[in-house]
Every structure is written in structure tokens, then in C-alpha cells.
Amino acid sequence: MIDIAGILMQNILYVILITLGGVLISWSVHFVPVGGAPAAMAQATGIGTGTVQLAAGAGLTGLVTAGAMMEITSSAALVIAAGAVGAMIMMAVTMIVGTWVYVYGVGCPPASAKVKYDPITKDRQDLYVSQGTEGHGLPTVSFVSGVIGGALGGIGGSLVYYALMSVENGLPLADLVGIASVFAVGIFFVNAVIPSYNIGGTIEGFHDPKFKRFPKAVLASLIATFFCALIGVLAIGGL
């Protein structure tokens, strides 16, 4: 049987880092402007897909870049920054192409229905919302919010991966990469789903009134990830 207390004491820092990573992922999902199914019909502001899927797409892209970076550097900050950049690029590219489709394919300008003026550009929004919709496309504030969300998600995912890779253990590198990446993916999905239940479908970004709900999801993620971090560290540290 493994020495539970010993492993935990030795790796308490990594438990905390993993929990922090999970909380960041949970928080990041609130920044990502997703309009869910209505946005696919240009019926709501944001990207036309589900929260979990988009956050996972961005976060896992970040995980891929962070994994590559982890091979060649020992700098934690660089690994985490690489993860953030990978996720930010994925999110920004997705949103810019989304804007192409809304503007050139559907013929409607980006507009938010939740605020009258864009908090960043101060542009009037309500006049550009077409009849019978809750806004459409990605106004600047949503775009910036999405980039922030991508960055936080990438940071969170790579932080979890970095911490799991750093736990004291006796595994060969290939096995360690395998188990750490699988745990990171698992923790990522748990923390992407929790906030999506909190948001309940659609959110426009940090200017959306629903954004204020984030402490609930962050709290839930904190508890859930802490438990996952404990068993993750125990599993890897015991080997």
C-alpha cells in the first residue's frame, strides 16, 4: 500500500497548482462568447457552438503546444505561456473566421443585444440587432473576451499538465507523459462542463450579466478539482 500522507505532503504544491489550473479553466469558460444553437442561426451573439466543445477545443490545442514545449524547456513559465498562446490562437482564428461567415455569408454586422454600447469601442449596439434575434456575430468586446478566455483556458490546462508532470515518481518519461496527458484531459473536461451548467447555454463575454455568476462555478470547480488533484497526485506519486 502506498504512503498516502507522505506523497501528499511532498507534492502539496502540485495539488495546489492543479486545483488552481482547474479553477482557471472553469473561470475561462465564462469569458468565451458562445451562443450555442441559436448563434448558429445568427439568432444570438457569440460563436455558434456549445460551451464545453469550444473550451475543450481551445484548451486542448493549448495542451498540445504546452506538451511540445515541455519537451524542450524546463521553464514552467514558458510551458504555461506556450499553452496560453496555442489556445489564444485557436480561439482568435475561430472567431475571425466566424466573423467572415457572419459578415460575408449571412450578411449581418456583429452586434450585442445585452448591452447598448460596446464597453471597449463605445459603439452603439442595439440598432444593429436584426429583428427577432438576440444579436449576432462577434462585436469587439466579445472577441477580446474570447481571447482572454482562450488564454486563461490554455494557462489552466498547461498548468495542470505541468504540475502532473512534476510530481515525484519513478515512471519512465513515455509513461509519465501518457498518464499526465490523460489526467489533464479528464480534469479539463470536468472543469469545462461545470461552468457550462452554470452558464446554461449562452453567454456573450465578460460584459454579459451572466458573467457575474462565475463565482459559483469557480467554487464548484475548486472543490471538484481539489479532489481530482488529490487522487491524481496519489496515483502518479505512488508509482
Q: Which of residues 27-56 bind another protein (CB under 8 A)?
A: 36-37, 39-43, 47-54, 56
Question: Does 188 contact another protein by CB under 8 A?
Answer: yes
List the grid coordinates of 54: 469550444
Tell me the C-alpha to C-alpha distance, in Å, between residue 75 and each of 36, 71, 82, 171, 218: 38, 11, 11, 21, 27
Considering the complex, state which of residue 20 and residue 233 has its C-beta at the smaller distance from another protein: 233
Stretch that binds another protein, among 16-24, 203-211, 217-225 (CB under 8 A): 217-225
Residue pair 138/47 in contact (Cβ under 8 Å)? The answer is yes
Alpha carbon distance 62, 207 (integer Å): 25
Footprint of another protein on 121-180 (CB under 8 A): 121, 123-124, 127-133, 135-140, 143-144, 147, 171, 173-175, 177-179
Alpha carbon distance 146, 185 (integer Å): 21
Question: Does 112 contact another protein by CB under 8 A?
Answer: no
Query: What is the smallest separation between the CB atom of 13 and another protein, expressed in angstroms?
Result: 20
Question: Does 185 contact another protein by CB under 8 A?
Answer: yes
Stretch that binds another protein, among 16-24, 81-89, 204-212 (CB under 8 A): 81-89
Q: How many CB atoms lie within 10 A of CB 186?
A: 13
Stretch that binds another protein, among 16-24, 105-113, 204-212 (CB under 8 A): 105-113
Sign of the alpha-carbon dihedral angle for 112, 115, 118, 123: positive
Longest dimension (CA), the chain: 67
Question: Does 98 contact another protein by CB under 8 A?
Answer: yes
Total of chain residues touching another protein, rule CB under 8 A: 120
Q: Count the residues in the chain.
A: 239
Residue pair 14/164 in contact (Cβ under 8 Å)? The answer is yes
Question: Does 15 contact another protein by CB under 8 A?
Answer: no
Among 3, 96, 168, 212, binds another protein (CB under 8 A): 96
